[in-house]
Amino acid sequence: MNAISKWTLALLTLLSGAAHAQQCTTLTYTGAPFVSLIPTGVDSSPPLITPLSGTVTLAEALPANAANYVTTPVSWQFVGGGAELNSAAWQSFIASYGGTMPVFTFSTDANGNITAWSFAVQWQQPYGGDTLHLTATSSNTGDSLVYDQFEVDAAPPNTQNFVLTGTSTTAGTWACQQPSLQAELDTANQMIEALEAELNAMHANNVYMAKLLGRQ
């Protein structure tokens, strides 16, 4: 492939990346504030329950006009209830104690924008002694987060259980997490530098060949 073809290929690659920018596979979620917090039991330092937020990475972009499209994300990560819920930690937990990876359900409009969804994710410390179980559910009708803490104490009553439930009745929002502009510029610059180096090498070779031919 000659240098001109490589320059053309590089340009087409960059244009193709721009054209597919809308084919989003990493989604960010921002939940609405909880309007109800119900504690059960006693805890000297209850957690700060914040709105559910996080990211979901899909193997491929959601199709347009989808109705209850079911998918198992490549990965997911959410923050809420004083702990982080993520797919890697949950996968490690179920490998030892059993369970299943959650599925996510989405509906989209003609432009592929999310109009409805539902999912439930959880995180749990390993069994034995103190445990903490955190469950988050989300849909287009609102979110809920259940913080369930079980402690084993040396003094009576020896065990105590504290549960804090937060709910919202307002839908959160989804957005596409696009690659940063700086990352795209860095990639483009690397491609240009590589092509410039190859052109310089070709030029030096042409000069060398011209000198050889001049001696004949």
Helix and strand numbers, DSSP H then E, in the chain = 3, 12
Rounded CA-CA distance 83/94 in Å is 18
What is the model's pLDDT at position 46? 65
How confident is the model over 190-210, as a mean pLDDT? Answer: 74
Residue 21 has pLDDT above 50, yes or no: no
Q: Which of 11-25, 57-71, 155-169 has the lowest mean pLDDT?
A: 11-25
- Could you read off the pLDDT of 48-67 as tens digits, one per residue? 678 899 999 999 999 999 99
More confidently predicted of 126 and 181: 126
What is the model's pLDDT at position 20? 38
Rounded CA-CA distance 72/101 in Å is 8
Q: Which of 23-27, 47-51, 205-209 has the lowest mean pLDDT?
A: 205-209
Q: Of 19, 30, 43, which Cα lies nearest the Cα of 147?
A: 43
Q: How many CB atoms lie within 10 A of CB 101?
A: 12
Amino acid at 109: D
Residue 11 has pLDDT above 80, yes or no: no
Rounded CA-CA distance 186/84 in Å is 31
